[in-house]
Amino acid sequence: MAAVNVTDDEFDNVIATSDVPVVVDFWAEWCGPCKQMAPHLEAVSVDMAGKVKVAKINVDENPMVASKYGVRGMPTLMVFKDGKVAATHLGAMSKQAITDWIKQSV
């Protein structure tokens, strides 16, 4: 399953209704490292389908969720497990590093 784009309005529902942990990518169009990491996240979302869900939220278009969770830099990844933040990572990572971080976090 490919990563899904979510908005401020959809965010809480996506997190609350997921039966698997949700990896949230807080990103922005102007963020170079975010663009570099995007294909890695897409690949991870396919490779780990059924184990985790990957959601992407554009912080410029959806600032409320980023503010709520104290996102100050990008890219920021958060793992939500049972509706709560289980882990946070700031900065770009390779596909393998993302996979390893998710496995350690869930």
Torsion of CA 16, 66, 2, 21, to 10 degrees: -40
Spatial CB neighbours of 10, under 8 Å, sequence gap ≥ 6: none
| Residues carrying an active site annotation | 31, 34
